[in-house]
Structure 1
Amino acid sequence: MPAVKSYPAARTVHRRVRDDLNGLRGIAIALVVVYHIWFGRVSGGVDVFLVLSGFFLGGRLLRQAAEPGADEPLPSALIRLVRRLCPALVVVLAASAMLTVLVQPQTRWETFADQSLASLGYYQNWYLALTSSDYLRADQNVSPLQHIWSMSVQGQFFVAMLLIAWLVAVATGRGGWGARRRRVLVAVTAVATVASFAYAVFAHHVDQASAYYDSFARAWQLLAGVLAAAVISAVRMPGWLRVAAALTGVAMLFGCGILIDGAAQFPGPWALVPVGATILLILSGAGTEANLPWPNRLMATPALVTLGAMAYALYLWHWPLLIFSMAFLDRHTVGLRGGLLVFAASLLLAYLTLRLVEDPLRKPGSATALATQPVQGRPRRLTTTMAVVVVALAVAVCVSAFGWRKHIADIRANGNELQSLAPRDYPGARAVLEPMRVPDLPMRPTILEAAEDLPATTIDGCITEFADTEVIRCTYGDPGATRTIALAGGSHSEHWIAALDLLGVRHGFRVVTYLKMGCPLTTDDDPRNAVTHEPYPECRSWVKKAMAALIADAPDFVFTTTTRPHPHGPGDLVPDGYLGVWDELDANDIAILGMRDTPWMFRDGALVAPVDCLAEGGDAESCGLPRHEALAEHNPTFDHLDRYRSMSILDLSDAVCRLDVCRAVEGNVLVYHDAHHLSSTYVRTLADELGRQLSDATGWW
Structure 2
Amino acid sequence: MFLQPADRSTGQLGSENRVRTVRRGDLDGVRGLAIALVVVYHVWFGRVSGGVDIFLTLSGFFFVGSLLRTAESLKPLDPVPVVRRVTRRLAPALVLILAVVAAFTILHYPATAWYDTARQTTASLLFLQNWHLADTASDYLAADPSVSPLQHLWSISVQGQFYLAALAVVFGAAWLLRSRGYAVRLPLTVLLAVFTAASFIYAATSSMPQTWLYYDTGARMWELLAGGLLACVAPWLRFPRSTRILLSFAGLAILIGCGVFLDGRNQFPGPWALVPVGAALALIMAGYSGSDSNSSDTGTDNPVTRLLTTRPLHRLGDMAYALYLWHWPILIGYLVLFDKPDAGFTGGLVVIVLSLVLAEATTRLIETPIRRPSGSGRTRTVLIASVSVVAVAIAGGSVSLTTFIDRRADESAQQTELDPLIYPGAAALTEGADAPQEREQPSRFVAHADLPDSTTDGCLAQDGETFARTCTYGDPNSARTLALIGGSHAENWQPAIDILGREHNFRVQTYLKVGCPAVLPPGPDSEIGECEQWTFSVIDALDANPPDVVFSTSTRPRPDGPGDYTPAAYVTLWQALADRQLPVVAIRDTPWLEHEGVEYRASDCLAGRGGNAESCGIDREMVLSAVDPAPGAAAQLPNVRLLDLSDAVCRTDRCRVIEGNILIYRDSNHLTASYSRTLAPPLGLALGPATGWW
* TM beyond 0.5: yes
Q: Distance in 1 between matches of 2:128 and 2:37?
A: 25
Partner of 2:600: 608
1:343-394 CA-to-partner distances (Å, cap 9, x unmatched) read 111111111111111112125xxxxxxxxxxx32x22232122112101110
RMSD of Structure 2 on Structure 1 (CA) = 2.4
- Note closer, same or farther for the CA distance 1:157–1:639 as it changes in structure 2 (3 Å cut): closer
Partner of 2:6: none
Partner of 1:498: 495
1:660 aligns with 2:653: yes
1:118-153 CA-to-partner distances (Å, cap 9, x unmatched) read 111112222223233211422322222121111112
1:243 to 219, 242, 245: 245
Deviation of 1:306 (Å): 0.5
Partner of 1:669: 662
2:274 to 269, 272, 275: 272
1:133 to 131, 134, 138: 138
1:74-102 CA-to-partner distances (Å, cap 9, x unmatched) read 21221122122111111111111111111
Residue correspondence of structure 1 range 683-698 to structure 2 within 5 A: 683-698=676-691
Determine helix, strand or coil for the equivalent of 1:415: helix
Determine helix, strand or coil for the equivalent of 1:498: helix
TM-score w.r.t. the length of structure 2 is 0.92
Q: Distance in 1 between matches of 2:74 and 2:630?
A: 79
Q: Distance in 2 between matches of 1:517 and 1:164?
A: 36
Partner of 2:573: 581
Q: Distance in 1 between matches of 2:350 and 2:137?
A: 30
Partner of 2:59: 53
Partner of 2:458: 461
Amino acid across the alignment from 1:304: L
- Note closer, same or farther for the CA distance 1:523–1:174 as it changes in structure 2 (3 Å cut): closer
Q: Distance in 2 between matches of 1:190 and 1:517?
A: 35
Partner of 2:73: 67
1:16 aligns with 2:8: no
- Note closer, same or farther for the CA distance 1:229–1:583 as it changes in structure 2 (3 Å cut): closer
Partner of 1:118: 123
Identity, % of aligned positions: 46
Deviation of 1:516 (Å): 2.3
Deviation of 1:471 (Å): 1.1
Partner of 1:531: none
- Note closer, same or farther for the CA distance 1:294–1:498 as it changes in structure 2 (3 Å cut): same
- Mean Cα deviation higher: 602-611 or 20-29: 602-611
- Note closer, same or farther for the CA distance 1:176–1:537 as it changes in structure 2 (3 Å cut): closer
CA contact (8 A) 2:614 2:656 kept: yes
Partner of 1:302: 311
Determine helix, strand or coil for the equivalent of 1:23: helix
Partner of 2:558: 566
Deviation of 1:265 (Å): 1.7
2:585 to 572, 579, 593: 593
1:591-613 CA-to-partner distances (Å, cap 9, x unmatched) read 22221221222332332222221
Deviation of 1:182 (Å): 3.2
1:651 to 641, 644, 647: 644
1:316 aligns with 2:325: yes
Partner of 1:371: none
Deviation of 1:324 (Å): 2.1
1:277-299 CA-to-partner distances (Å, cap 9, x unmatched) read 11111111223426551101110
2:199 to 196, 200, 214: 196
- Note closer, same or farther for the CA distance 1:396–1:292 as it changes in structure 2 (3 Å cut): farther
CA contact (8 A) 2:11 2:73 kept: no
5+ unaligned residues in a row in structure 1: which ranges?
1-8, 364-374, 528-533
Amino acid across the alignment from 1:56: F
Deviation of 1:242 (Å): 1.6
- Note closer, same or farther for the CA distance 1:232–1:526 as it changes in structure 2 (3 Å cut): farther
- Note closer, same or farther for the CA distance 1:187–1:633 as it changes in structure 2 (3 Å cut): closer
Amino acid across the alignment from 1:255: G
TM-score w.r.t. the length of structure 1 is 0.91
Q: Distance in 1 between matches of 2:49 and 2:468?
A: 37
Residue correspondence of structure 1 range 481-492 to structure 2 within 5 A: 481-492=478-489
Amino acid across the alignment from 1:108: A
1:327 to 336, 339, 353: 336
CA contact (8 A) 1:50 1:154 kept: yes
1:519 aligns with 2:521: no
CA contact (8 A) 1:418 1:681 kept: no
1:252 to 248, 251, 254: 254
- Note closer, same or farther for the CA distance 1:64–1:647 as it changes in structure 2 (3 Å cut): closer
5+ unaligned residues in a row in structure 2: which ranges?
1-9, 13-17, 289-295
- Note closer, same or farther for the CA distance 1:285–1:133 as it changes in structure 2 (3 Å cut): same
Partner of 2:83: 78
Partner of 2:432: 435
Amino acid across the alignment from 2:285: L
- Note closer, same or farther for the CA distance 1:55–1:581 as it changes in structure 2 (3 Å cut): closer
Deviation of 1:536 (Å): 7.3
1:489-519 CA-to-partner distances (Å, cap 9, x unmatched) read 2222111111111111111111111222333
Q: Distance in 1 between matches of 2:211 and 2:11?
A: 41
Determine helix, strand or coil for the equivalent of 2:179: coil
CA contact (8 A) 1:418 1:444 kept: no
Deviation of 1:681 (Å): 0.5
- Note closer, same or farther for the CA distance 1:48–1:644 as it changes in structure 2 (3 Å cut): closer
- Mean Cα deviation higher: 107-116 or 19-28: 107-116
Q: Distance in 2 between matches of 1:636 and 1:49?
A: 48
Q: Distance in 1 between matches of 2:138 and 2:594?
A: 20
1:170-216 CA-to-partner distances (Å, cap 9, x unmatched) read 22333433xx233333333333323332333233x444332222223
Amino acid across the alignment from 1:606: V
Determine helix, strand or coil for the equivalent of 2:461: coil
Deviation of 1:275 (Å): 1.3
Partner of 1:26: 32
Amino acid across the alignment from 1:49: F
- Note closer, same or farther for the CA distance 1:10–1:441 as it changes in structure 2 (3 Å cut): farther
CA contact (8 A) 1:91 1:390 kept: yes
Partner of 1:174: 179
CA contact (8 A) 2:522 2:568 kept: no
CA contact (8 A) 1:526 1:537 kept: no
Partner of 1:356: 365
- Note closer, same or farther for the CA distance 1:588–1:239 as it changes in structure 2 (3 Å cut): closer
CA contact (8 A) 1:285 1:291 kept: no
1:620 aligns with 2:623: no
Determine helix, strand or coil for the equivalent of 2:462: coil
Deviation of 1:535 (Å): 7.7
- Note closer, same or farther for the CA distance 1:380–1:653 as it changes in structure 2 (3 Å cut): same
- Note closer, same or farther for the CA distance 1:198–1:650 as it changes in structure 2 (3 Å cut): closer
Deviation of 1:687 (Å): 1.1
Determine helix, strand or coil for the equivalent of 2:153: helix
1:538-575 CA-to-partner distances (Å, cap 9, x unmatched) read 11222223234334433222222222223433222333
Paired residues in the alignment total 671
2:97 to 86, 89, 92: 92
- Note closer, same or farther for the CA distance 1:211–1:643 as it changes in structure 2 (3 Å cut): closer
Q: Distance in 2 between matches of 1:187 and 1:518?
A: 40
Q: Distance in 2 between matches of 1:647 and 1:176?
A: 75
CA contact (8 A) 1:426 1:669 kept: yes
Deviation of 1:614 (Å): 0.9
CA contact (8 A) 2:57 2:277 kept: yes
Q: Distance in 1 between matches of 2:593 and 2:629?
A: 19
1:220 aligns with 2:222: yes
Q: Distance in 2 between matches of 1:402 and 1:513?
A: 35
Deviation of 1:645 (Å): 3.5
Partner of 2:468: 471
